[in-house]
Amino acid sequence: MLTVSGLYIYPVKSLGGFEVDRGQVTATGLEHDRRWMLVDANNQFISQREIAAMALLQVSLLQSGLLVTHKQNQSTVAVPFEPQGGPPVTVQVWGDSCKALPVSAEADEWFSDMLSTRCRLVYMPDNSKRRVDTRYAFNKEITSFSDGFPFLLLGQASLDDLNSRLAEPLPFSRFRPNIVFTGGQPYQEDVMEHFTINGISFFGVKLCARCVITTINQQTAAKAKEPLKTLSGYRMRNNRIYFGQNLLHSGEGFIATGDAVSIVKLKS
Q: According to the model, what pLDDT value does residue 220 have?
A: 97
Mean predicted lDDT score pLDDT of the chain? 97
Q: According to the model, what pLDDT value does residue 149 have?
A: 98
Give me the percent of the chain exceeding a pLDDT of 70.
Answer: 100
Q: According to the model, what pLDDT value does residue 158 have?
A: 98
Q: What is the pTM assigned to this prediction? A: 0.97
* CATH annotation of 2-30+132-266: 2.40.33.20
In 3D space, the residue among 57, 48, 13, 97 whose CA is nearest the CA of residue 211 turns out to be 48
Q: According to the model, what pLDDT value does residue 183 have?
A: 97
Q: Distance between the two ends of the chain, CA-based, in angstroms?
A: 20
- Mean pLDDT within 45-50: 98
* pLDDT tens, residue by residue, 208-227: 999 999 999 999 999 999 99
- Mean pLDDT within 228-234: 98
Q: According to the model, what pLDDT value does residue 181 have?
A: 98
Does the pLDDT of residue 206 top 90, yes or no?
Answer: yes
Q: What is the DSSP string of 155-194?
A: EHHHHHHHHTTSSS---GGGT--SEEEESS-TTGGGGEEE
* pLDDT tens, residue by residue, 141-174: 999 999 999 999 999 999 999 999 999 999 999 9
In 3D space, the residue among 144, 236, 255, 250 whose CA is nearest the CA of residue 205 turns out to be 250
Task: Name the residue ranges covered by the structural domains of the chain.
Answer: 2-30+132-266, 36-128
* pLDDT tens, residue by residue, 49-88: 999 999 999 999 999 999 999 999 999 999 999 999 899 9
